[in-house]
Amino acid sequence: MSPVRYYKLCLGLPLLAPVLVIAISALVAMLTGLGTFPSIFGLVVMSLFIGGIPYVLTIIPLFWYGWNREASWYRNLSFVLPLIYAVVLVLSYFVFLVIRTKSFRVLSGEHVEVVLAQAGLLVGYPYVGLCHLGLFVLRRLGVIKEI
């Protein structure tokens, strides 16, 4: 596998990880009969819907623009992608508010956008670290070859 292919696969990690957590939670609940873990399950489902749509809106244009780029472009993108995602997350929140309230007076003084931007960064950079850790391990194991 090439580093470029690995980086492209890593772009799907923030969407795949919540789906895996939901599946594992449901499997554990089914096997043990304990029921789902409501706090973890609810948080993951909520993050998938609240953060998933803006994330898809973030990566589709970047994926299209960077289709034939080299690995260094993807590496550099991985470090700024959480910042781009935080901006898209806040903008999508404002669009949601405008659609919901049918008014452009969306600033309510609650500063939810600051919390969303921080959450985007706090969740985004661990994914970046996980991606680069995986790249390091797979290079050591010889799975990813330099071209």
pTM: 0.77
Identify whether 147 is part of a domain: no
Domain span including residue 93: 3-140
Query: What are the helix (H) ranges across 66-107?
Result: 71-101
Q: Is pLDDT at 37 greater than 70 in this prediction?
A: no
Whether 81 is covered by a domain: the verdict is: yes
SS3 for 9? helix
Q: Specify if 117 maps to a domain.
A: yes
The confidence score (pLDDT) of residue 104 equals 62
Q: Higher confidence at residue 64 or residue 66?
A: 64
> How many domains does one find in the chain?
1
Residue type, 113: E
Q: Is residue 146 part of a domain?
A: no
How confident is the model over 83-102, as pLDDT tens digits? 998 888 888 888 877 777 77
Answer yes or no: are the C-beta atoms of 95 and 54 closer than 8 Å: no
Contact 133, 98 (CB under 8 A): no
Mean pLDDT of the chain: 81
